């Protein structure tokens, strides 16, 4: 049962402030997103309409602690069909970002983050892979990309994910738009590349551009 | 000059004013009930409540309205402000040119009706019965429009002919109606009382006919006419009793000529005809929205997916006998990518098709998938009846329609159980929204709000937004059922009749006037006019009074003040600003169509803003000159707000863009002169955005440090 005694009336306004959360109040509950969702077709427990509805009702704990929030595959089928023009996938993203800020990041994501930090990619490259690439005539790749760790350090994402209450961390407050979104990370990545390039101009020995 | 003050049943308690010897002050208890007598050419100042209300009470006078009620009393500001406002209004009135009344003689008392659907037919017969000569033009070769395509009308379920044929019969009794079929409006000239309409008539092909129908048997071309098959030569059983050729599909093979006992001509001629009329009724009706744009439902792509009217015609003619039908509601309606509005009648159309199929074939399974069922009024009984007949209602919006094993599958979520749901069916009916059939709207100069005409400028129905002498009837106004259409058609006929009761109508719409002594023919006004109303005739600037809408943009643009709008001119505004603005004030120059209304709303919404905010009403944000802003700064204003309509909503097409350009230039100059350029703000404030207005003026009051130099 949904008990509105536990509802937080500010929850929806918090989500609206986030990037991607702007369209939340337009939802009139037609269920087109839920019917379009391919994830839902395989696992009925995931329902974007239900997530939006609970957010509108202010059921903060239910939404943020729900494991199904993280099921979204970002195929944007819902965004394509929503009659009210809500960017549903981005909205779910906004709720996810809020969940991470509030310390609700699932363990799997934390493990992925560790992988990223250690290797620079989610998939570990072994000698076997390199041999396979050689056979296909592809150039070899580095086993680790240390620049990614630098990016992650710059975005302070580790502290945000691992801390129980992200708001206590002053450094993270300054970077309020940092998120799991690849776009954001990519943006930072480009910035760092630029910074490095300008440094490298003074020392021409090291010429390596990260792309 | 007289200053007339409405005490509004002693709600406005004005202290005793002394405005000099040549100005009389008169108090009235309540102007809504007892109006003072004002001569048409007299200049007066009326102080009372909002000009939005006063203008309806006094439509034809020269007055500056001072808003004491909404700008002082409701906000709790001290009454001293009232004196400043009234004095400034008096100073303004001294400088303006009075508005010259425009007289339109109703020379021609015949009416043109565009569209011979049920709305056009009803309007024509109502007018003809009252002795008005009527010209009825119709795009297709037959009368009847959309209703003639239907099978039956609900909620009663009577055949369409029981409604349409008596209407046609009544209309045909009248001798004073002239019919033109296959004709469309090409262009229209003139004004109320004397319109000249150029009509393009395509030839019908069939010239003499005895309705034997032999031509239909031999015609080799088969066409799909919204769900029903017909030949390229065809007949609709309404009026006239003649066949017609559809020249878009006819191959001109000549088979029909061989069997015809009458006369058929196969060359497609287009002729033109001029019709004179005093009033025009637009009864162009509606069209279904093109549902092939809603790609996920597969119209045109999948067999068995059809629109409501196609389905109705196919079932009624016996061509289609479905076993399992899914009717999807709100296709394209209430959808930001398609039609943002609710078309109001498509829910009944969907219900009607369900009823039709249940009555014809009771064993057919019918599913209605709707996100909301809007069965207002008596239609609720109809909805109940359908549930009793076994129609299944599913709440939800289908995500897609696709084919599986030769069957159509509709995938949706049932909102009542929260489960995903798939329905296999042989026929899917898309109950789509409606769009107006509007090729004539822009030719007639009708202003549109989205797709449909704007009928009135405000909710109080004070000013009609339609051009004078032009009326709309039926679904051209908004999609409506047959009953509502008939009522609307009678209303349109009444409007035409009451117009024709008068010999001439007089209105006071302000026009721009050019003072030839001052004019140097620099042509700046020609480029700036949004309506192309200004042109050069005999080396002199002339204003076309029919095109001029009274925005005042030219009078501000003119470098030598030669162009002056009646009732509003730069000098008047300068006088007003000079007398009104004291040191530390904030001047708000607000567009009368949007931002000014927001101030009225602010008062009723119990907002409060500082009392040093002084509001002047201007015809358009584009009618504010940088020199006025400079004048206000010199008078000591510490902030100037120019409020206009949102970029796409300007009443005068592009006045707000002019304002934006001026603002940028002004800010450059202010910077050069050493002023803080942020004390001048141009903001888009909508009619209802009282909170935005209040926030802006409060912000300006706090931020501005006065108009002193840096």
Each as own residue / partner, the long-range contacts of residues B503-507 (CB below 8 Å, 24 or more positions apart, any chain) are: B503/B105, B503/B106, B504/B103, B504/B104, B504/B105, B504/B106, B504/B193, B505/B103, B505/B104, B505/B106, B505/B192, B505/B193, B505/B468, B506/B60, B506/B101, B506/B102, B506/B103, B506/B104, B507/B59, B507/B60, B507/B101, B507/B102, B507/B104, B507/B468
pTM of the model: 0.80
Residue A76 contacts B where some CB pair is shorter than 8 Å: no
Q: How many CB pairs under 8 A join A and B?
A: 50
- Pick from B419, B435, B451: which residue ends a domain? B435
Residues of chain A in contact with residue B337, where contact means CB-CB under 8 angstroms, are: 83, 85
Give the CATH number for residue B193. Answer: 3.50.50.60
CA dihedral A187, A190, A196, A198 (to 10 degrees): -110
Residue A42: closest C-alpha in chain B: B420
Element (H, E) at B43: strand B43-48
Beta bridge partners of B229: B224
Residues of chain B with pLDDT > 90: what percent?
47
Q: Most B CBs within 10 Å: which of A83, A86, A88, as the mutation test of the B interface?
A: A83
Residues of chain B in contact with residue A34, where contact means CB-CB under 8 angstroms, are: 413, 420
Question: Mind listing the pLDDT tens digit for each residue in A62-118?
Answer: 899 888 888 888 999 999 999 999 999 999 999 998 998 888 888 888 888 888 888
Q: How many domains does chain B have?
A: 5
Q: What is the pLDDT of residue A191?
A: 64
Tokens for B151, please give them: 């099978």
Q: Is the pLDDT of residue B431 over 60?
A: yes
Contact B380, B156 (CB under 8 A): no
Residues of chain B in contact with residue A30, where contact means CB-CB under 8 angstroms, are: 330, 371, 396-397
Q: What is the pLDDT of residue A182?
A: 40
Same domain, residue pair B373 and B403: yes
Domain coverage including residue B354: 287-435
Separation CA B136–CA A174 (nearest Å): 71
Q: Is the pLDDT of residue B541 over 70?
A: yes
Q: Is the pLDDT of residue A188 over 80?
A: no
Residue B369: closest C-alpha in chain A: A30
- The reply to whether B311 falls in a domain is yes
Same domain, residue pair B85 and B134: no
Same domain, residue pair B391 and B349: yes
Split at pLDDT 50, 70, 90, the class of B299 is very high
- The answer for residues whose C-beta is within 8 angstroms of residue A124's C-beta and 6 or more apart is A115
- The reply to whether B230 falls in a domain is no
Q: What is the pLDDT of residue A178?
A: 37
Question: Mind listing the pLDDT tens digit for each residue in B92-110?
Answer: 998 888 888 888 889 999 9
Same domain, residue pair B48 and B192: no
Q: How many residues does chain B have?
A: 710
Instruction: Domain ranges for chain A, please list them.
Output: 4-101, 107-202
Contact B398 A49 (CB under 8 A): no
Tokens for A192, please give them: 């760092």
Question: Mind listing the pLDDT tens digit for each residue in B219-229?
Answer: 999 998 888 88
Average pLDDT, chain B: 89
Same domain, residue pair B329 and B372: yes
Split at pLDDT 50, 70, 90, the class of A172 is very low
- The reply to whether B242 falls in a domain is no
Contact A30 B396 (CB under 8 A): yes
Q: What is the three-state SS of B75-121?
A: CCCCCHHHHHHHHHHHHHHHHCCCCCCEEEECCCCEEEEECCCHHHH
Same domain, residue pair B132 and B276: yes
Residues of chain B in contact with residue A81, where contact means CB-CB under 8 angstroms, are: 296, 399
Q: How many residues does chain A have?
A: 211
Residue A81: closest C-alpha in chain B: B399
Same domain, residue pair B80 and B165: no
- Pick from B465, B481, B500: which residue ends a domain? B500
What does the pLDDT average to over B297-307?
A: 92
Q: What is the pLDDT of residue B457?
A: 66
Residue B404 contacts A where some CB pair is shorter than 8 Å: no
CA atoms within 13 A on the CB side of B466: 21
Same domain, residue pair B48 and B128: no
Same domain, residue pair B391 and B276: no
Residue B419 contacts A where some CB pair is shorter than 8 Å: yes
Residue B335 contacts A where some CB pair is shorter than 8 Å: yes
Question: Mind listing the pLDDT tens digit for each residue in B465-523?
Answer: 788 889 999 999 899 999 899 999 999 999 999 999 999 888 777 888 888 898 888 88
Contact A30 B371 (CB under 8 A): yes
Tokens for B435, please give them: 């769009």
**Domain A4-101 CATH superfamily:** Alpha-helical ferredoxin (1.10.1060.10)
- The reply to whether B570 falls in a domain is no
Split at pLDDT 50, 70, 90, the class of A190 is low
Say how many C-beta atoms besides its own lie within 10 A of residue B256's C-beta: 25
What does the pLDDT average to over B579-589?
A: 90
């Amino acid at each position: 049962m949904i008990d509105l005694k536990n509802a937080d009336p500010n929850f929806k306004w918090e989500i609206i402030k986030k990037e991607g959360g702007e369209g939340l109040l337009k939802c009139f509950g037609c269920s087109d997103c839920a019917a379009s969702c391919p994830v839902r077709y395989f696992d009925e427990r995931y329902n974007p309409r239900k997530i939006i509805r609970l957010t509108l009702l202010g059921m903060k704990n239910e939404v943020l602690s729900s494991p199904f929030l993280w099921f979204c595959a970002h195929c944007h089928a819902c965004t394509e069909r929503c009659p009210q023009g809500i960017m549903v996938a981005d909205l779910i993203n906004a709720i996810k970002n809020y969940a991470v800020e509030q310390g609700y990041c699932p363990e799997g994501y934390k493990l992925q983050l560790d992988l990223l930090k250690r290797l620079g990619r989610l998939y570990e490259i072994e000698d076997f892979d390199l041999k396979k690439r050689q056979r296909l005539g592809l150039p070899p790749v580095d086993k680790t990309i240390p620049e990614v760790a630098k990016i992650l350090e710059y975005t302070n994402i580790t502290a945000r994910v691992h801390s129980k209450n992200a708001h206590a961390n002053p450094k993270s407050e300054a970077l309020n738009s940092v998120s799991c979104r690849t776009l954001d990370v990519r943006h930072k990545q480009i910035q760092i590349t630029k910074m490095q390039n300008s440094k490298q101009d003074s020392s021409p020995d090291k010429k390596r551009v990260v792309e | 000059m007289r200053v007339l003050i409405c005490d509004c049943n002693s709600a406005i308690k004005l202290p005793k004013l002394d405005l000099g010897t040549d100005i009389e002050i008169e108090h009235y208890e309540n102007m809504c009930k007892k109006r003072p007598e004002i001569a048409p050419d007299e200049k007066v100042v009326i102080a009372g409540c909002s000009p939005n209300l006063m203008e309806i009470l006094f439509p034809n006078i020269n007055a500056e309205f001072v808003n004491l009620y909404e700008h002082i009393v409701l906000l709790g500001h001290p009454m001293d402000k009232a004196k400043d406002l009234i004095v400034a209004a008096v100073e303004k009135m001294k400088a303006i040119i009075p508005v010259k009344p425009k007289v339109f003689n109703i020379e021609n008392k015949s009416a043109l009706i565009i569209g011979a659907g049920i709305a056009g037919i009803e309007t024509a017969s109502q007018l003809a019965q009252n002795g008005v000569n009527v010209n009825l033009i119709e795009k297709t070769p037959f009368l009847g429009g959309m209703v003639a395509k239907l099978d039956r009308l609900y909620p009663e379920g009577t055949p369409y002919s029981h409604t349409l044929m008596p209407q046609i019969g009544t209309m045909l009794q009248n001798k004073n109606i002239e019919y033109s079929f296959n004709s469309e409006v090409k262009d229209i000239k003139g004004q109320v009382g004397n319109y000249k309409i150029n009509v393009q008539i395509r030839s019908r092909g069939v010239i003499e006919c005895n309705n034997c129908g032999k031509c239909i048997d031999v015609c080799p071309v088969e066409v799909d006419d919204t769900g029903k098959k017909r030949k390229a030569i065809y007949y609709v059983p309404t009026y006239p009793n003649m066949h017609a050729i559809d020249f878009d599909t006819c191959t001109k093979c000549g088979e029909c000529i061989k069997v015809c006992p009458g006369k058929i001509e196969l060359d497609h001629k287009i002729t033109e005809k001029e019709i004179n009329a005093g009033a025009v009724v637009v009864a162009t009706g509606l069209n279904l929205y093109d549902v092939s744009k809603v790609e996920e439902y597969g119209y045109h792509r999948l067999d068995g997916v059809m629109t409501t009217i196609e389905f109705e015609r196919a079932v009624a003619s016996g061509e289609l006998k479905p076993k399992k039908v899914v009717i999807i509601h709100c296709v394209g309606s209430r959808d930001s990518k398609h039609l943002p509005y609710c078309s109001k009648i498509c829910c009944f159309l969907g219900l009607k098709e369900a009823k039709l199929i249940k009555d014809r074939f009771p064993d057919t399974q019918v599913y209605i998938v709707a996100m909301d069922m809007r069965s207002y009024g008596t239609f609720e009984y109809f909805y109940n009846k359908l549930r009793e007949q076994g129609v299944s209602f599913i709440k939800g919006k289908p995500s897609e329609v696709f084919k599986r094993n030769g069957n159509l599958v509709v995938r949706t979520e049932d909102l009542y159980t929260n489960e995903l749901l798939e329905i296999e069916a042989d026929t899917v009916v898309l109950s789509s929204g409606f769009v107006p059939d509007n090729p004539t709207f822009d030719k007639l100069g009708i202003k549109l709000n989205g797709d449909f005409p704007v009928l009135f400028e405000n909710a109080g129905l004070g000013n009609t937004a339609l051009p004078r002498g032009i009326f709309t009837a039926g679904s051209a106004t908004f999609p409506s059922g047959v009953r509502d259409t008939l009522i609307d058609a009678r209303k349109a006929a009444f409007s035409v009749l009451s117009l024709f009761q008068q010999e001439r109508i007089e209105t006071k719409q302000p026009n721009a006037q050019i003072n030839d002594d001052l004019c140097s023919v620099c042509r700046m006004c020609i480029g700036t006019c949004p309506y192309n109303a200004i042109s050069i005739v005999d080396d002199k600037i002339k204003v076309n009074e029919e095109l001029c809408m009274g925005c005042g943009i030219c009078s501000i643009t003119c470098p030598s003040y030669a162009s002056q709008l009646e009732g509003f001119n730069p000098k008047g505004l300068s006088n007003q600003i000079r007398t009104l603005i004291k040191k530390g004030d904030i001047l708000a120059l607000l567009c009368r169509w949007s931002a000014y209304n927001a101030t009225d709303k602010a008062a009723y919404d119990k907002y409060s803003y500082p009392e040093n905010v002084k509001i002047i009403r201007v015809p358009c944000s584009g009618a504010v000159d940088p020199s006025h802003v400079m004048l206000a700064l010199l008078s000591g204003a510490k902030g100037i707000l120019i409020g206009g309509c949102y970029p796409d909503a300007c009443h005068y097409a592009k006045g707000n863009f002019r304002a934006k350009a001026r603002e940028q230039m002004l800010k450059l100059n202010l910077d050069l002169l050493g002023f803080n350029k942020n004390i001048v703000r141009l903001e888009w404030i909508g009619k209802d955005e009282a909170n935005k207005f209040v926030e802006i003026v409060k912000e300006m009051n706090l931020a501005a440090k006065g108009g002193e130099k840096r």
